[in-house]
Structure 1
Amino acid sequence: MRTGFVSFIAPAYTQDTVEVLKEIVSRAKEALTSLGIEIVSEAGPVINLFDVEEAVSKISSIQFDFLTALIPSWAESPMIVNTLQPFFNKPILLWALSSIQKGDVLIAPAGAAAMAAVMHPLRAMGAKLKVVYGNPESSNVRREILHFARAAYTVNKLFGSRVGIFGYADMGSYTAGFDQTSLRSKIGVEVEDYEVHRLLLEADKIGDEEADEFASRQFEDWIIDRTVTKEDLRKTVKVYLALRKIIHERRFDAISMKCVYGLPIYYGITPCIPLSLAGVNIPVVCESDVLGLVTELIMDYVSGQRSVYLEFYDIFEDRVLMGVCGMIPRSALE
């Protein structure tokens, strides 16, 4: 998770007050870092209009998932608006700090007042705001910021993601279909149909020796049913090795495949094991279910861990039975 960072302070404060506010700003930056958020570009404090151009230039120097606009005190709205306006295409965390108690003294720089003065104008102008109020020590503040940061990271990541499918809408499932233009424009994911026969052409290039060597390593601790022949296992491995190569060459971030009217018809095996092995590194679903696959990709980005695609098999009064026909990433089993 990557953020640009800028802070705002009113020009009326004395230099001593500005230095105190800078210390408060430093604590906010440390809080972001402790949440796993990297500050990749930084500017501020923006105090007057002469600071705006330099701040925009500094913030623009590196790409980020969202922009953090910190308001530790009262700040004049034009400075905030002029600095943030070039970044209205990005999510913006508008974070206003609250008062600070130091012994018997309450320091109240009025960050809430500055936030209230600029929040509505920013939204009316089209800014994508997440407003957070409170100090870095607050667990609620930290939780809100982290949730927002993960969402912003996910949105940014999706717009560079590529999904590979091998065949379209297995068994003619209506829910597996998708509108490519709508998906690309709204979510940002690019979908490429590599097609099953091209996958098999790649699988045929892999020699028996290479496949057997991989199988001996990969399945060393697997319990394999005696009815599974060496030839079937070899074909399965060849498909996986070809799939791994294609994923790398086509830069696929997730894949799905026709598993009923695909490999079983053309190659005599199901894709469950190849998909399960591929699922160690990227999201996978079966039946060329594009929207299900994109949903899984979103869950991976948001959670930071591998999600698993399951279907509802039955619904009871006290439990739900879910499963899938064989394609489960090994990481989920562990």
Structure 2
Amino acid sequence: MKKRKVGIITFSDGRDFVHEETLEMNKKFEDRLVKALERTNEIEVVRASDIVNKPSKAKKAGKEMMKAEVEMTIFNYSIWCWPHLSVIASLYAPGPYLIYGQINPKYPGMVGMLAAAGALEQIGIFPERVWGEPEDPEVMKRLLKFVRGASAAHRLKGERYGMFGGRPMGMYTASANGDQWMKEFGIDVEQIDQYALVLKAEKVPTEKKRKAREWLERYATVQYDGKRLTPAILEKQIGLYYAALEIIKEEELDFVGFKGQPEMTNNYATMDIAEAFLNDPYDFDGPKEPIVAATETDMDGALTMEIFKHIAQTPVLFADVRHYFKEEKLLDLANSGQHATYFAGKSNNPEENLKNVIIHPEDFYFPAGGGAVKHFAAPGRVTLARLARQDGEYVMTIVPAEFVELSDKEKKRLSEQVQIEWPHAYAKLDTTIDTYLEYYPCNHIHGVYGNYIEELVHFCKVKGIAFQILD
């Protein structure tokens, strides 16, 4: 897990005699905050070299944060401090900003915090505000939620998305404007023909593909049928995975999307193996960082997944909103092999997940053949969401839900009504299906285990994006 690099600048009184009198106390308050942040094991703290009581020190502290490339900055207040120092520091220290107020009733720290917040807001900077003891778990929880959302917004800047193929099957919601992405998120879009995958896949050494296939056969159940799924076709799919990795490295891509249908699925092989294992925290060769991969070159889907990845630092789900079972009150989320195998067992250990995975022959939609990565999502609380455009403006729709555990008999019964070859996640929504169908913006959905609603809200506020929560 990559720690989030957070800067801390502590402010003081501009009068020398007050600053000197309160200096050691101010440092102790800063120490408490630093220790509390470091205890989370999520944050790498960068401290300014001085407690700031002069404009020159405010500039210096801000430039130190800039040089350290922090992902956001916390302005720390435990006594009265002169507000213009915070404004000057903000000219250099990277945002987003969080104003943190310590509890110190004998000194007007709350006054200093509010005065600084008002000054920043007057110049168009709207920081998050958190107040309380840093040792208080609830206070730290609030602070962490903002740090996660803010750092996610920061980490998008300078990333590159690899778009393999064009718009899929007429889906407007899957295509976005690269100029808008660069303007709003700082993301560059690289368009790559799918034929590049085929060319590189054909050059992957036979021995490498064979070893990967045998690894899959060892840990998962591979159901060869001699037609749409054979060892040779599975190795073709594995070749596509290694080809994608090579292009991602060559082009310095951070996340990707593959068109797949109909060119690859009609003429070569499906991308299911590549998509699933790119999203996984491991592959045939050992542990790795998940690389967000969206099927059907769904750009806004991939972007939603990348935001989730930076917030939760876990694999992210991609699925179709396939069917609602009215009697069971379950939404069936399914897509052709797109679910990372992580969701089969909710583990970073491939053996734990793959024992629940079947590599199933594809159905008639995909005449070129291949294996679908079939499994049922492990139970647990989830946060589902989608970033989509409405009249050109982005809106984040957030859907709290729970993936439920069903008996093997129920899984078979329900999946046979929909698509037995594909992976499924059965979601019980917090909202009603009528509300969901009225307000949810498209056919694809994404999510992670855990409650990350507030982190997504913070992300949206930082980016100036509207949001709606269907709960």
Q: Could you tell me the TM-score, scaled by structure 1's length? A: 0.90
Match of 1:331 among 337, 342, 345: 342
- 2:50 alignment partner, SS class: strand
Paired residue for 2:247?
246
Q: Is 1:38 matched with 2:47?
A: no
User: For 1:42-88, what per-residue CA distance to the aligned partner results, in whole angstroms no more than 9, with x for missing partners?
Assistant: 2331123453343334333311101111011111122222223333x
What aligned pairs does 1:119-268 form with structure 2 within 5 A after superposition?
119-227=117-225, 228-267=229-268
What is the one-letter code of the residue matched to 1:56? G
Paired residue total? 325
Q: Is 1:86 matched with 2:95?
A: no
Q: Is 1:25 matched with 2:25?
A: no
Alpha-carbon RMSD: 2.0
In 1, distance between residues paired with 2:306 and 2:28? 39
Structure 1 residue 196 displacement after superposition: 0.8
Structure 1 residue 184 displacement after superposition: 1.5
**Are residues 270 and 52 of structure 1, via their aligned partners in 2, closer, same or farther at CA, if it must alter by over 3 Å?**
closer
In 1, distance between residues paired with 2:206 and 2:144? 49
User: For 1:293-326, what per-residue CA distance to the aligned partner results, in whole angstroms no more than 9, with x for missing partners?
Assistant: 1101111111111110122122345222211122
Paired residue for 1:312?
321
In 1, distance between residues paired with 2:173 and 2:19? 63
Structure 1 residue 223 displacement after superposition: 1.4
Paired residue for 1:102?
none
What aligned pairs does 1:62-77 form with structure 2 within 5 A after superposition?
62-77=68-83
The percent of aligned pairs where both chains have the same amino acid is: 22
In 2, distance between residues paired with 1:154 and 1:97? 26
What is the one-letter code of the residue matched to 1:141? V
Q: Is the 8 A contact 1:285 1:309 kept in 2?
A: yes
**Are residues 54 and 283 of structure 1, via their aligned partners in 2, closer, same or farther at CA, if it must alter by over 3 Å?**
closer
Q: Which moves more between the two structures, 249-258 or 8-17?
A: 8-17
Larger radius of gyration: 1
Q: Is the 8 A contact 1:164 1:256 kept in 2?
A: yes
- 2:127 alignment partner, SS class: strand
Structure 1 residue 41 displacement after superposition: 4.4
**Are residues 8 and 210 of structure 1, via their aligned partners in 2, closer, same or farther at CA, if it must alter by over 3 Å?**
closer
**Are residues 207 and 136 of structure 1, via their aligned partners in 2, closer, same or farther at CA, if it must alter by over 3 Å?**
closer
Structure 1 residue 161 displacement after superposition: 1.8
What is the one-letter code of the residue matched to 1:85? L
Structure 1 residue 203 displacement after superposition: 1.3
Structure 1 residue 139 displacement after superposition: 2.5
In 2, distance between residues paired with 1:263 and 1:232? 13
In 2, distance between residues paired with 1:194 and 1:284? 14
What is the one-letter code of the residue matched to 1:320? L
Q: Is 1:5 matched with 2:29?
A: no
Q: Is 1:279 matched with 2:269?
A: no
**Are residues 48 and 151 of structure 1, via their aligned partners in 2, closer, same or farther at CA, if it must alter by over 3 Å?**
same
In 1, distance between residues paired with 2:164 and 2:241? 13
What is the one-letter code of the residue matched to 1:177? S
Q: Could you tell me the TM-score, scaled by structure 2's length? A: 0.65
Runs of 4+ with >6 A deviation? none
What is the one-letter code of the residue matched to 2:106? A
User: For 1:264-319, what per-residue CA distance to the aligned partner results, in whole angstroms no more than 9, with x for missing partners?
Assistant: 2231x211112112221211221111111110111111111111012212234522
Paired residue for 1:115?
113
**Are residues 52 and 252 of structure 1, via their aligned partners in 2, closer, same or farther at CA, if it must alter by over 3 Å?**
closer
- 2:46 alignment partner, SS class: strand
Q: Which moves more between the two structures, 118-127 or 65-74?
A: 118-127
- 1:178 alignment partner, SS class: coil
Q: Is the 8 A contact 2:160 2:255 kept in 1?
A: yes
Q: Which moves more between the two structures, 2-11 or 52-61?
A: 52-61
What is the one-letter code of the residue matched to 2:273? I
Q: Is the 8 A contact 1:286 1:327 kept in 2?
A: yes
**Are residues 325 and 56 of structure 1, via their aligned partners in 2, closer, same or farther at CA, if it must alter by over 3 Å?**
closer
Unaligned runs of 5+ in 2: 281-289, 346-471
**Are residues 241 and 6 of structure 1, via their aligned partners in 2, closer, same or farther at CA, if it must alter by over 3 Å?**
same
Structure 1 residue 179 displacement after superposition: 0.7
What is the one-letter code of the residue matched to 1:79? L
In 2, distance between residues paired with 1:313 and 1:54? 55
User: For 1:130-166, what per-residue CA distance to the aligned partner results, in whole angstroms no more than 9, with x for missing partners?
Assistant: 1112121222321121011111211111112222121
| Higher fraction of helix | 1
User: For 1:233-272, what per-residue CA distance to the aligned partner results, in whole angstroms no more than 9, with x for missing partners?
Assistant: 22122222212211222222222212221212231x2111
Q: Is 1:290 matched with 2:288?
A: no
What is the one-letter code of the residue matched to 2:114? A
In 2, distance between residues paired with 1:304 and 1:114? 35
User: For 1:184-224, what per-residue CA distance to the aligned partner results, in whole angstroms no more than 9, with x for missing partners?
Assistant: 11022222122111111111222433322332234322211
In 2, distance between residues paired with 1:254 and 1:158? 10
Q: Which moves more between the two structures, 321-330 or 209-218?
A: 209-218
